[in-house]
A and B are shown apart, each in its own frame.
Chain A
């Protein structure tokens, strides 16, 4: 049942330092509020009832999109999906991430919701995560004790669970430049519901050895077909050093499907993984040849 919100004590820090001081005091009794597109529905559905709400969306330190050829991309945790999807540098060099962010929710949700918030909700079907997995992103996490960097494939520990503690906040997503001569894409199928939640999402990145005309390596990440989005490592191994001919693509698609652990509609989801991996790889290979 959806209700009005229960009372809580409200904090609105203007800096990261203030925010982590508050979180250090209240820990798991506090919830961090950014865009509100996930937290507020969870509170209205009475899944959570935090005693303290820490509204961080006014922290201007966390709204940057910076790019350098050496350091790669740095996205502040409070950048909205809309801002990522419409950023010219991200559309040019990290098109996969722009496409994934443009799949999230509805236009209103994309404008309000933030990448940091999306990551911290850690839903198995969240579209940004497969893209961040193949881009080998890292999360910068800050607490009163200092900062640490968590690679994306260690960040998610289970459905709606992450490696960060109640005292920490994610401040930045760091994404290295993709390998040269590589192409990447994100494809999905959705449930037919009001928000068209992703039923299967496939992100893939192919690196090309142009001299030998073969695929140097591949990164394939699958969303919504297991407790958390993950890299299909066995499928990736099959591609290394090979020409992507249709027989090989079939084998990769099948290997990827076998790596999944869908909780519901397993047969359908698995078949859909095979089809989507195939179409994504064919699309990317056609771009490289």
Chain B
């Protein structure tokens, strides 16, 4: 089948790729752009490991054809830190011990970023609800929720 051009912005940089339309955004990120922070796991939209932000909303890159994100703004976990300074949510995950094996962490952090951008002062239940599509096989949910709430406090004080 013929290849088509996909153009989008990835972590602030314009990107143009020649791809087959059946290529998922996840494959483009990991295999074409070598942005392996986005994780591949269930492949069918159940686990949230492949979460990226598309126009600031958390979406599943395993279920998204790369050809459909024309002109959109995509942020992966690699796009969050500025230089050597971690984003406050990343820092809070480190400080709270919210990272165990680390596989779910990129998806968790990006989902949490979208939540805090929308709702800077969420309740514990709102954090749990927002993260309910991101699974942690280490079952380290308590510390993850702690970290998101801690990050919310820091970001409110202007730490973002």
Residues of B close to A107: CB separation below 8 A? 58, 111, 129-130, 132-133
Please state if B45 and A37 are interface contacts (CB–CB under 8 Å): yes
| Max count, chain B CB within 10 A of own CB: residue among A6, A33, A58, A107 | A107
Residues of A close to B42: CB separation below 8 A? 2, 194
Task: Indicate with 1 or 0, residue by residue over B70-89, a CB within 8 angstroms of chain A CB atoms.
Answer: 00000000000000000000
- Closest Cβ–Cβ distance, residue A185 to chain B (whole Å): 20
B47-63 interface with A by 8 A CB criterion? 47-48, 51, 57-60, 62-63
Contact of A194 among B20, B58, B135 (CB under 8 A): B135
Contact of B27 among A4, A6, A7, A37 (CB under 8 A): A4
Question: What number of B residues sit within 8 Å (CB to CB) of A?
Answer: 33
Residues of B close to A109: CB separation below 8 A? 45, 60, 133
Please state if A106 and B63 are interface contacts (CB–CB under 8 Å): no
A108-B21 in contact given A7-B1, A10-B67, A40-B63 (Cβ < 8 Å): no
- Closest Cβ–Cβ distance, residue A3 to chain B (whole Å): 8
Q: Is A55 positioned at the interface, with any CB of B under 8 Å from its CB?
A: yes
Please state if A53 and B21 are interface contacts (CB–CB under 8 Å): yes
Q: Is B119 positioned at the interface, with any CB of A under 8 Å from its CB?
A: no
Please state if B133 and A106 are interface contacts (CB–CB under 8 Å): yes
How many chain A residues sit at the interface, stated as a range, is 20 to 34
Contact of B64 among A7, A36, A195 (CB under 8 A): A36
Task: Indicate with 1 or 0, residue by residue over A10-24, a CB within 8 angstroms of chain B CB atoms.
Answer: 101000000000000
Please state if B63 and A37 are interface contacts (CB–CB under 8 Å): yes
Residues of A close to B59: CB separation below 8 A? 108, 111-112
Residues of A close to B130: CB separation below 8 A? 107
Q: Is B122 positioned at the interface, with any CB of A under 8 Å from its CB?
A: no
Q: Is B44 positioned at the interface, with any CB of A under 8 Å from its CB?
A: yes
Residues of B close to A36: CB separation below 8 A? 63-65, 68
**7 other A-B residue contacts (CB within 8 Å) besides A109-B45, A112-B59, A194-B46:** A36-B68, A37-B45, A37-B60, A44-B43, A57-B68, A108-B58, A108-B60
Please list the residues of chain A having a beta carbon within 8 angstroms of any beta carbon in chain B: 2, 4-10, 12, 33, 36-37, 40-41, 44-45, 53, 55, 57-58, 105-109, 111-112, 194-195
- Report 20 cross-chain contacts, Cβ distance below 8 Å, ordered by A residue: A2-B44, A4-B22, A7-B20, A9-B2, A36-B64, A37-B45, A40-B65, A45-B44, A58-B68, A105-B45, A107-B132, A108-B48, A108-B59, A108-B111, A112-B45, A112-B59, A112-B63, A112-B64, A194-B42, A194-B47
